[in-house]
Structure formats: structure tokens, C-alpha cells
């Protein structure tokens, strides 16, 4: 089933700061549990609105895209996920390293039949297990093929590609795996393919976006990843703060040592016809929320060390559905009617 969104067309809307309009590959990474797949899907919907054709790719074998869009597990083939305003299309692809290797052997050496035999023997899995970096080479190679592929009429197959990438802990290694292969193969088709992947990932057509929560560990991983990626020559796009909570407690609402005047609170509840028996529990909730609010503010200040635009997405209760994805997509554009 192909879903249809009800988002307003964004053909005349600008992308927010941090989402380069000329980038054709958007790499989305973040510490596990930060919601990077949800962010990648929302960004892909935003890019597709207004009539564009966008491909959303996953590489970790989790079938997270299928779960988000409530579809059966994606095969190793591009599958339409949703249509957006003005005929925009969002497609999905779950890349399988073994299938990617078969494509490589067929593309460069015409060995498709032999590759299938190797797969039946378990040789492909053995090789990618023996050399883990090879798996990343195959995955990024397929990503590059998706970005640069053209239709028979000469036009690019997709206007943009969004990659739900591995976590920040290994994103630099993942994106730079092909460089090691290029150093080993000094000539030939694999070397040329490797050079093309490196040029794409390090060039202006690619932007790497970092997803985080306003918590200590995700923020620290974001800061570390930003530094590492920048040093390695990758172009950062935006830091996306997911599940940001609104500031609901003002400092003057708390007493010394983060206390709440329960009697005063009960008086306020009585004025709005709320049972005063709720006052003690509500006071505890206010204190906990205030503490959480303070921690998030401190972590937001720490993120200032990453000198890229910041995009904040609201806190939505999981699981996120298509309508909520469309709501999140609106945060990546401005000026939509």
C-alpha cells in the first residue's frame, strides 16, 4: 500500500538553514535511540513535497523504514512508500550487502551467475565477515549508484537521496571505508568506482546531519562525531534535536531548592475547578519536569560547540505514524502555505 500525505506543497517553500538545497545525498546519523530513522523519513518527506522524487535508504538490515510506513519488509528493490503534494514521490530501499556484491561482480566482471553460486556456498557472507570494511564499501557503493543513476532519457532517477546511516559511533568509518579500498586498488574499474564514491561523499552534493536528544551521552557523541567528520573532510548539514520538550516551568514557579508551594498550588487548582487532592502529585511532577528542563538547557548549551544550524523537532509519543511524520517534515521547510 502506498500512503498519501496531506502536507501542504513545498515547491515555493525554502528548506531551513542546515538543509543545503543543492545537496543530493543527505546522510542522517545519530546515537542509537535518538530517532534517526524517524528524522531521516521526515526529511525525505520534506524533500519529496512539491513534486520531487526522493529515495530513502537504510543499510542496517532492521527494516525500520517498513515499520515506519506500515508496509511489508522491503525487498532488495526500490519500493514506493508515499506520495506528497504536487505529485511528489517517496521511495524506499533496504540495501543488502550480499545483493550489492552480486551487482558489483556482474557490473564490473560479468560474473552474476558465479556470484549467485558464491552466495549459495556462503562465500559472500564469509568474505564480508572476514573483512567488515568490505560490507561498508558495498553499501556506500550502492548509495552512490542510487544518487548518480540516470533514466533512459538522461535525467537523474531521483532528485534527492536520504540515507538512514549507521550510528555516530561508527559513521566516519562507514563513510570512509571506500578510501581504504581505493588505496589498495590503484587502477581498474573498482578503483574508478571507489574514487566516484569518495568524490560524492566528500563533495558538495552530500550533507551529513546529526540527530541527538538533549541528554548527556547523545550530545557528547554528537560533538565528537561532528569534530571527527569535519576533520575527515565531510560537510555537516544540521544538528537535529529530536523530541525537544517545551519549557513549561518558569524559575519563579519554584521555591528554594526546587520546591513547590503545595498550598498555593492547591489554591490555583481550586480556582479552575480541579480537585485539590491532585496538588501533591502535580507538585512532584513540576519538580521533576523542572529538573529535566534544566538538564536539557545545559545540554543545548553544550551543543553550541557544533557550529552548524540546529533544528528542533517536537516530542511525539512513539510509535510515530505517517501523519506525524508529515508534521515533522514541516520543520525542515519554511514559508509553506
Q: Looking at the DSSP assignment, which residues form a beta bridge with residue 15?
A: 333
pLDDT of res. 325: 94
What one-character DSSP code corresponds to residue 272?
A: T
pLDDT of res. 247: 87
Q: For residue 155, what are the contacts with CB-CB under 8 A and spacing of at least 6?
A: none
Range with the poorest average pLDDT among 101-110, 116-125, 245-254, 320-329 = 116-125
Instruction: List alpha helices for the chain, DSSP H.
Output: 36-48, 64-68, 97-109, 112-121, 123-130, 132-148, 171-184, 189-202, 216-231, 262-271, 279-302, 322-329
- Please write the tens of the pLDDT for every residue from 145-159: 999 999 999 999 999
115 pLDDT band, cuts 50/70/90, is low
- Please tell me the CATH code under which domain 3-247+306-334 is placed: 3.40.50.300
pTM: 0.87
- Give the residue-averaged pLDDT of 305-330: 91
Can you tell me the distance from the alpha carbon of 303 to that of 330, in angstroms, rounded to the nearest whole number?
A: 23
- 110-124: buried (b, 16+ CB within 10 Å) or exposed (e) per residue? eeeeebeebeeeeeb
Number of residues written out for the chain: 337
Report the percent of the chain where pLDDT is more than 70.
82
Can you tell me the distance from the alpha carbon of 78 to that of 45, in angstroms, rounded to the nearest whole number?
A: 16
Nearest CA among 210, 205, 204, 93 for reference residue 142: 93
6 pLDDT band, cuts 50/70/90, is very low
C-alpha cell belonging to residue 6: 496531506
- Please write the tens of the pLDDT for every residue from 198-242: 999 999 999 999 999 999 999 999 999 999 999 999 999 999 999
Higher pLDDT pick, 49 / 319: 49
Domain range list for the chain: 3-247+306-334
Q: How far is CA 276 from CA 112, 267, 270, 283, in A?
A: 74, 8, 6, 11
3-state helix, strand, coil in the chain (%, to 5): 50, 20, 30
137 pLDDT band, cuts 50/70/90, is confident
Asked whether the predicted pLDDT for residue 130 surpasses 90, the reply is no
- Give the residue-averaged pLDDT of 76-80: 92
Amino acid at each position: 500500500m502506498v500512503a498519501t500525505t496531506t502536507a501542504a506543497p513545498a515547491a515555493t517553500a525554502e528548506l531551513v538553514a542546515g538543509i543545503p538545497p543543492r545537496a543530493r545525498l543527505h546522510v542522517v546519523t545519530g546515537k542509537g535511540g535518538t530517532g534517526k530513522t524517524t528524522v531521516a523519513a521526515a526529511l525525505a518527506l520534506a524533500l519529496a513535497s512539491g513534486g520531487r522524487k526522493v529515495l530513502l535508504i537504510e543499510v542496517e538490515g532492521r527494516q525500520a523504514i517498513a515499520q515506519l510506513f506500515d508496509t511489508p519488509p522491503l525487498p532488495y528493490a526500490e519500493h514506493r512508500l508515499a506520495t506528497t503534494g504536487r505529485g511528489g514521490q517517496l521511495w524506499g530501499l533496504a540495501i543488502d550487502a550480499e545483493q550489492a556484491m552480486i551487482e558489483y561482480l556482474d557490473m564490473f566482471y560479468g560474473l552474476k551467475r558465479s556470484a549467485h553460486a558464491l552466495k549459495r556456498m556462503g562465500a559472500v557472507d564469509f568474505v564480508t565477515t572476514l573483512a567488515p570494511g568490505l560490507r561498508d564499501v558495498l553499501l556506500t557503493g550502492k548509495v552512490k549508484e542510487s544518487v548518480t543513476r540516470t533514466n533512459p532519457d538522461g535525467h537523474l532517477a531521483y532528485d534527492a537521496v536520504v540515507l538512514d546511516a549507521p550510528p555516530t559511533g561508527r559513521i566516519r568509518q562507514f563513510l570512509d571505508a571506500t578510501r581504504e579500498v581505493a588505496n589498495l586498488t590503484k587502477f581498474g574499474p573498482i578503483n574508478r568506482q571507489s574514487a566516484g564514491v569518495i568524490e560524492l561523499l566528500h563533495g558538495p552534493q552530500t550533507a551529513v546531519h546529526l540527530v541527538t536528544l538533549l541528554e548527556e551521552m547523545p550530545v557528547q557523541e554528537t560533538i565528537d562525531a561532528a569534530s571527527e567528520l569535519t576533520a575527515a573532510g565531510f560537510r555537516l548539514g544540521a544538528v537535529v534535536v529530536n523530541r525537544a520538550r517545551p519549557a513549561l516551568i518558569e524559575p519563579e514557579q519554584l521555591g528554594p531548592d526546587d520546591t513547590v508551594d503545595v498550598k498555593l498550588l492547591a489554591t490555583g487548582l481550586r480556582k479552575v475547578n480541579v480537585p485539590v487532592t491532585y496538588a501533591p502529585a502535580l507538585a512532584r511532577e513540576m519538580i521533576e519536569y523542572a529538573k529535566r528542563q534544566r538538564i536539557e538547557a545545559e545540554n543545548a548549551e553544550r551543543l553550541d560547540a557544533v557550529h552548524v544550524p540546529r533544528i528542533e523537532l517536537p516530542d511525539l509519543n512513539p510509535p510515530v505514524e505517517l501523519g506525524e511524520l508529515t508534521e515533522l517534515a514541516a520543520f525542515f521547510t519554511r514559508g509553506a502555505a
